């Protein structure tokens, strides 16, 4: 185990989760590895959970709850390992994880970041939680492969976007891209990071042999909808190349209008409206960040677009948007977008010019 790990865990009232995950993590660590637990203003349960399984772990109080993204970034500043491993507090490594999560550092020299296979218990059986997060061109994202048998994860391979539940990043790649976006607080920060890395020419992979057992249950309270919706649109504004953003704008607008009755029926319309207001406050900074990210982008709009999907095919999404007319309308618009952007080759802008930033 020559490659050293800096495991970064953000805790917020996470004592019971750490009681389960840290004893599983401890035997997967090697000489030179470190564990940094960032305590986001929690109930104090993180300290006792660390003491027995990982007495050498570093507990860092954050003095309140500045959010997942800011805490991870602070942990990365303190880290000394070759690989930064962002791990959810409720993600318990399975035997062999330590060796498997390091393997791509030498076997896949072209990968800048990779995720382990994230599993979860469904009716008592360990199945796939996510093998990567598909991103629809409206910015809606979900856990890829959720509910599928672990064996279907297949072999190690490149993926468009990784989940932050178990994410390994080479130190130099992390600093080159600039870590997570603090302002996101939580949700979509892993998607934003992945797309920034890919836009800068980086590569992301999946290592299925590095398996974690994640305490996952799909659900969204009203406040969670605020973060999900605000950050979805912020991610799109920050990252989409100009030609792509212009071409998907009509569908983005239609999506926002369609979500109004959905949010009203679900009881989170106030949080949806609040997400728009907060996004408007953030917009001047978002546009500055967008210009900076555009300067770093080395892939053409057509190649970036092919990181996205036209299908809303998660089993956790309503049937009405996954099948029938909605599906074919979304696919048809996306086929037009790709045709206008042109071939996936550097220097070729297609019929829609690449000059728009």
Tens digit of pLDDT for each residue in 291-307? 999 999 999 999 999 99
Q: Are residues 127 and 80 in the same domain?
A: yes
The pLDDT of residue 349 is: 41
Mean pLDDT calculated for residue range 31-45: 90
The pLDDT of residue 353 is: 36
The pLDDT of residue 356 is: 33
The mean predicted confidence, pLDDT, of the chain is 92
Domain termination site, one of 214, 240, 269: 214
Q: In angstroms, rounded to a whole number, what is the distance separating the alpha carbons of residues 309 and 346?
A: 21
Q: Are residues 266 and 293 in the same domain?
A: yes
Which position has the higher pLDDT, 221 or 235?
A: 235
Alpha helices (H) in the chain, listed in sequence order: 15-25, 46-51, 68-78, 97-102, 104-107, 171-177, 189-199, 222-239, 242-266, 269-296, 301-305, 319-322, 324-341
Encoding tokens for residue 124? 């008592």
Q: Is the pLDDT of residue 336 over 80?
A: yes
Is 31 inside a domain boundary? yes
Answer whether 274's CB lies under 8 Å from 226's CB.
yes
The pLDDT of residue 61 is: 94
Mean pLDDT calculated for residue range 275-292: 96
Question: Which of 14-18, 49-53, 90-94 tops mean pLDDT?
Answer: 90-94
Mean pLDDT calculated for residue range 324-340: 95
The pLDDT of residue 348 is: 40
Mean pLDDT calculated for residue range 216-242: 90
Q: Are residues 160 and 232 in the same domain?
A: no
Mean pLDDT calculated for residue range 206-219: 90
Q: Is the pLDDT of residue 266 over 50?
A: yes
Which position has the higher pLDDT, 347 or 174?
A: 174
Mean pLDDT calculated for residue range 106-122: 97
Q: Are residues 186 and 239 in the same domain?
A: no
Answer whether 48's CB lies under 8 Å from 57's CB.
no
Q: Which residue, chain included where needed, has tokens 């072209």?
A: 110
Is 352 inside a domain boundary? no
Answer whether 288's CB lies under 8 Å from 357's CB.
no
Q: In angstroms, rounded to a whole number, what is the distance separating the alpha carbons of residues 322 and 340?
A: 25
Which position has the higher pLDDT, 198 or 344?
A: 198
Is 136 inside a domain boundary? yes
Which position has the higher pLDDT, 331 or 355?
A: 331
Q: What range does the domain containing 30 cover?
A: 5-214
**Confidence label for 315 from pLDDT (cuts 50, 70 and 90):** confident
Is 356 inside a domain boundary? no
Q: Where are the beta strands (DSSP E) in 32-184?
A: 34-39, 58-61, 83-87, 91-93, 113-122, 125-130, 157-158, 166-170
Q: Are residues 83 and 210 in the same domain?
A: yes
Q: Is the pLDDT of residue 3 over 50?
A: yes
Is 351 inside a domain boundary? no
Q: Is the pLDDT of residue 351 over 80?
A: no
Is 322 inside a domain boundary? yes
The pLDDT of residue 316 is: 74
For a pLDDT cut of 90, what percent of the chain falls above it? 84
Is 169 inside a domain boundary? yes
Is 319 inside a domain boundary? yes
Helix (H, G, I), strand (E, B), or coil: what is residue 4? coil
Q: Are residues 13 and 82 in the same domain?
A: yes
Q: Are residues 207 and 237 in the same domain?
A: no
Phi/psi class of residue 290: alpha, beta or left (left: φ > 0; alpha: ψ in -120 to 50)?
A: alpha
Tens of pLDDT, residue by residue over 156-188, are 999 999 999 999 999 999 999 999 999 999 899
CA angle 85-111-337, nearest 5°? 110
The pLDDT of residue 219 is: 63
Helix (H, G, I), strand (E, B), or coil: what is residue 209? strand
Q: Are residues 100 and 204 in the same domain?
A: yes
The pLDDT of residue 216 is: 83
The pLDDT of residue 313 is: 87
Domain termination site, one of 190, 214, 238: 214
Which position has the higher pLDDT, 354 or 33?
A: 33
Split into its structural domains, the chain has a count of 2
Q: Which residue, chain included where needed, has tokens 């696919």?
A: 331
Answer whether 238's CB lies under 8 Å from 286's CB.
yes
Which position has the higher pLDDT, 94 or 49?
A: 94
The pLDDT of residue 220 is: 60
Mean pLDDT calculated for residue range 15-29: 95
Encoding tokens for residue 111? 């990968």
Q: In angstroms, rounded to a whole number, what is the distance separating the alpha carbons of residues 79 and 175?
A: 12
Answer whether 177's CB lies under 8 Å from 130's CB.
no
CATH number at residue 204: 3.90.550.10
pTM of the model: 0.93
Mean pLDDT calculated for residue range 37-56: 88
Q: Are residues 51 and 151 in the same domain?
A: yes
Answer whether 308's CB lies under 8 Å from 137's CB.
yes
Q: Is the pLDDT of residue 352 over 60?
A: no
The pLDDT of residue 345 is: 63
Q: Are residues 186 and 317 in the same domain?
A: no
Q: How many CB atoms lie within 10 A of CB 232?
A: 24
Domain termination site, one of 181, 214, 247: 214
Helix (H, G, I), strand (E, B), or coil: what is residue 141? strand
Q: Are residues 187 and 230 in the same domain?
A: no
Answer whether 354's CB lies under 8 Å from 288's CB.
no
Q: Are residues 256 and 202 in the same domain?
A: no
Parallel, antiparallel or unpaired: strands 58-61 and 113-122: unpaired
The pLDDT of residue 223 is: 87
């Amino acid at each position: 185990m020559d490659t050293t790990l800096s495991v970064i865990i953000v805790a917020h009232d996470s004592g019971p989760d750490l009681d389960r995950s840290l004893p599983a993590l401890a035997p997967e660590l090697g000489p030179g590895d470190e564990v940094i637990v960032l305590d986001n203003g929690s109930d104090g349960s993180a300290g006792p959970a660390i003491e027995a399984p990982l007495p050498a772990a570093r507990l860092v109080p954050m003095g309140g709850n500045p959010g997942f993204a800011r805490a991870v970034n602070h942990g990365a500043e303190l880290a000394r390992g070759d690989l930064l491993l962002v791990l959810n507090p409720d993600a318990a490594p399975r035997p062999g994880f330590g060796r498997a999560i390091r393997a791509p550092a030498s076997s896949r020299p072209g990968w800048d970041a990779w995720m382990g296979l994230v599993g979860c218990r469904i009716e008592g059986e360990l199945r796939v939680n996510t093998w990567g997060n598909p991103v629809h061109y409206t910015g809606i994202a979900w856990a890829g492969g959720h509910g599928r048998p672990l064996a279907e994860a297949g072999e190690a391979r490149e993926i468009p976007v990784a989940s932050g539940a178990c994410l390994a990043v080479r130190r130099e790649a992390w600093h080159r891209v600039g870590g997570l976006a603090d302002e996101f607080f939580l949700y979509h920060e892993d998607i934003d990071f992945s797309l920034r890395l890919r836009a800068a020419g980086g590569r992301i992979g999946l290592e299925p042999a590095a398996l974690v057992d994640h305490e996952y249950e799909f659900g969204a309270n009203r406040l969670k909808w605020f973060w999900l919706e605000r950050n979805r649109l912020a991610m799109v504004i920050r990252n989409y190349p100009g030609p792509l953003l212009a071409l998907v704008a009509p569908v983005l607008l239609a999506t926002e209008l369609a979500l109004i009755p959905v949010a009203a029926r679900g009881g989170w319309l106030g949080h949806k409206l609040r997400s728009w207001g907060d996004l408007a406050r953030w917009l001047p900074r978002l546009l500055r960040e967008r210009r900076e990210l555009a300067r770093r982008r080395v892939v053409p709009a057509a190649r970036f677009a092919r990181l996205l999907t036209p299908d809303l095919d998660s089993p956790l999404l309503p049937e009405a948007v996954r099948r029938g007319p909605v599906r074919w309308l979304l696919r048809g618009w996306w086929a037009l977008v790709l045709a206008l952007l042109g071939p996936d080759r550097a220097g070729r802008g297609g019929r829609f010019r690449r000059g728009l930033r």
